[in-house]
Amino acid sequence: MDGRLVPGAGGAFETINPATEEVLGTAADASADDMDRAIAAARRAFDETRWAADHAFRARCLRQLREGLRRRADELRELTIQEVGAPRFLTFGAQLDAPVDDLAWFADLAEGYGWERDLGRAEPMGMPSHRRVVREAVGVVGAVTPWNFPHQINLAKLGPALAAGNTVVLKPAPDTPWCAAVLGEVIAEETDIPPGVVNVVTSSDHALGAQLTRDPRVDLVSFTGSTATGRDVMAGAAATLKRVFLELGGKSAFVVLDDADLRAACSYAAFAGITHAGQGCAITTRILVPRGRHDEAVEITAKALAKLGAGDPQDDRTICGPVISARQRERIEGYLELAAGEGGAFACGGGRPEGRDKGFWIEPTLITGLTNDSRAAREEIFGPVLVILPHDGDDDAVRIANDSPYGLSGAVHGGDVERARGVARRLRTGTVSVNGGVWYGADVPFGGYKQSGIGREMGVAGFEEYLETKAIAEGV
């Protein structure tokens, strides 16, 4: 905070390995006063330094941050596996290496962006004027993040927010404080980022997130988390009319068309659905299959899920590790019970895997026999739990996929690519994968329709979330 590594006034709190329940260590437990000081530091750094004006300097700082994180990649990989329970293979992608690399894209953007546009001369109401439109930083950004992909989400906020010239107070989730604290460390020790520009405030107390959303010195809140908390953030920000950028929950559909290779599609749906124990907001957790091939689809998917299983995240071959906490496991078990009560059956899984006495585990699970009206099919479970539903053709599949309060992501698999693309265009979601295509990337805007969020993260659209627009007219 403010360029220094400081203990929390609230003492320290434990961070736990979800695969083993072992206490990894402690993190600074910030108090409301600490948060107050962090916001003051960010405000001062924005108002009293040239940070926002010097695009080249910011680009250099972002590259230093990238290099600093890359130098510590091995240590960060182990930390991420242990603190998040992230399967090792994911740390070579979205859990670590990809978001660190992506900082270069935002550094390049800061240098190459068209910060000013000349609209030329005009004579509005007979008064000769030369007009320009300039883009500039919004100010102090309050970033509030969840635990499931901490580096990806922390850096997808820090990268564009800093590239755009803002200063930031980052409040990470209480479950993954170390993944954020290490950013503060690298920034303080290995970059020229001035004091106060980035302030990482770890805390066991969710109220510090709410404090950030309400403080009048904060200009924009960039939030990723559940839709329920997103509503609170929006309401909290309303009093000071600050801008909000929300990345929220999802219940995305994986649509298998009747001309798809059913075996390949369902095997892929199983893999995609339980990666990182299903703890991804954009994971496709409703599998929609042609009614005539429903039973076959259930068999293929269940077999694939059982074969993948839940395993030690340290193991290279593990796709599905533990869930983050006992609380989260309880929540998922609540949904399993609910699904059974709603008439659902488990084609595989449905409980805790055998032989794992320590750690927070749920078996990869496939629920059959429900309709899209059931709560298990409508609400976000955030675990390795998939619901399979029959559809009666493309129009019906689109109808079911879109019949959701969410609109984050989706997937379509079909033999005729033109047709699959057509279905993809009809899905009311922010991202869609067709036949296994990967939309994730620094240059690709990501975000949700409907109750999955407001705004876009990453890409030029994500960068522009952190900018204001100013028109300047000179009398000539």
Residues that bind ligand NAD (CB under 6 A): 144-148, 153, 171-174, 206, 209-210, 213, 224-226, 229, 232-233, 247-250, 281, 380, 382, 408, 448, 453
Smallest gap from Cβ 253 to ligand NAD, in A, equals 15
Smallest gap from Cβ 235 to ligand NAD, in A, equals 9
The letter for the amino acid at 200 is V
The position carrying tokens 């705004």 is 455
Smallest gap from Cβ 27 to ligand NAD, in A, equals 13
Contact assessment for residue 149 and residue 280, using Cβ atoms and an 8 Å cutoff: yes
The letter for the amino acid at 460 is V
Nearer to ligand NAD, 68 or 322 (CB): 322
**C-alpha–C-alpha distance, residues 170 and 401, integer Å:** 34
**Quick check: is 333 catalytic?**
no
**C-alpha–C-alpha distance, residues 183 and 160, integer Å:** 15
Smallest gap from Cβ 95 to ligand NAD, in A, equals 12
Nearer to ligand NAD, 225 or 349 (CB): 225
27 DSSP β-pair partners: 13
What would the two tokens of residue 188 be?
A: 């303080």
Smallest gap from Cβ 454 to ligand NAD, in A, equals 11
Nearer to ligand NAD, 85 or 453 (CB): 453
Contact assessment for residue 198 and residue 170, using Cβ atoms and an 8 Å cutoff: yes
Q: In angstroms, how far is CA 456 from the centroid of its own chain? A: 11
Please return the burial class of 148, using the count of CB atoms within 10 Å of its CB with bins 0-12, 13-18 and 19+: buried
Supply the DSSP symbol for 193. P
**Which residue's Cβ has the minimum distance to ligand NAD?**
209
Q: In angstroms, how far is CA 231 from the centroid of its own chain? A: 17
Nearer to ligand NAD, 213 or 435 (CB): 213
Please return the burial class of 121, using the count of CB atoms within 10 Å of its CB with bins 0-12, 13-18 and 19+: exposed
Nearer to ligand NAD, 2 or 247 (CB): 247
- Active-site residue among 14, 22, 48, 247? 247
The string of DSSP letters for 62-83 reads HHHHHHHHHHTHHHHHHHHHHH
Catalytic site residues?
247
